[in-house]
Amino acid sequence: MHIWEIVFVSILVTGIAGFIGSHVARVLLERGEQIIGIDNFSDYYDVNLKKNRLKGLENFDNFTFHNVDISNIVSVENIYKKYDFNKVCHLAAQAGVRYSLEAPMEYINTNIVGHTNILECCRNYNVKNIVYASSSSVYGGNTKVPFSVKDRVDNPVSLYAATKRADELISYTYHHLYDLNTIGLRFFTVYGPWGRPDMATWIFTKKIINKESIDVYNNGNMERDFTYIDDIVAGTISVLDSINKEGLKLSKVYNIGNNKPENLLSFISVIENYLNIKAIKKFKPMQPGDVIKTYADISDIKNDFNFLPITSIKEGIPKFIDWYKLYHKL
């Protein structure tokens, strides 16, 4: 392809200083997309980590950043007035299952009000294509595995999960009423470099290095479909590239995971082996809002977008640990 054949369009990426948002944006920027990024640097976790993620994007000439809280409709609308988007990759959210037990209104304001503000601005400013972050947590306490997008998801076990399910329903309604194309991606336990400090990979690595005990819930009888960030990015961008095909009218949700649940103790042992340090484990009962197992049926996203995760935890965890040591100068 000749350089003059590339069509440059503006894509709005929300939550651009977040874990997934910063990775998705980098790949889009590297291939020449004109990106507008927004974030409000929520202090739910280390703001400096978010600012450092953003620093890695600021050298691109095709990148513009604005500090915007998506729960503020006026601020969001100002972005839509200023730029002409072709599509939106909406990854901003108040994350974390356990924190939703302590601060429910943070989740209502960001995940429901903020999500609706994005959709409302898309409607009012004729932006027809939105790919947004949902979560595997919508499956709640479902025991049938693997989790399929055809399964019922009306029994959330955390407020975080309830807000993510609400986002899916609101998105469908905007599609039905206003012809917006909306695709929700139910992410399954994403990990990797520049990850979140409240997630297991970071917590376990930090504590094992520091010779501190780690809390192992449900006595280790838990499984997670750990999915490496590069696989998540590849899947997200594949969906984003396809959503604006001419004549397309749809509202769907997809699972995006590794399709391979890992036992929590096995996951910990991969970290132990790479660090060559034995973890001090403190076994604890199940926490409120938690689930025993997650397992993604990815047949739909595989069939529709050729998504195929390729990174095992034996490959992905060392990459995270190498980054972690470099970032913390260890």
Question: What are the catalytic residues?
Answer: 160
Rounded CA gap, 244 and 88, in Å? 11
Q: What is the dihedral of CA 89, 94, 96, 100, to 10 degrees?
A: -140
Rounded CA gap, 176 and 250, in Å? 9
Instruction: Give the ranges where 8-145 is alpha helix by DSSP (H).
Output: 19-30, 47-55, 73-82, 104-107, 115-124
Enter the DSSP assignment of 18.
S
Rounded CA gap, 307 and 298, in Å? 8
Q: Phi and psi (nearest 5°) for 259? A: 65, 30
E-assigned strand segments in the chain: 10-14, 34-39, 63-67, 85-90, 129-135, 181-187, 190-191, 213-217, 223-224, 227-228, 251-256, 262-263, 280-284
Rounded CA gap, 170 and 175, in Å? 9
CB contact at 8 A, 301 and 235: yes
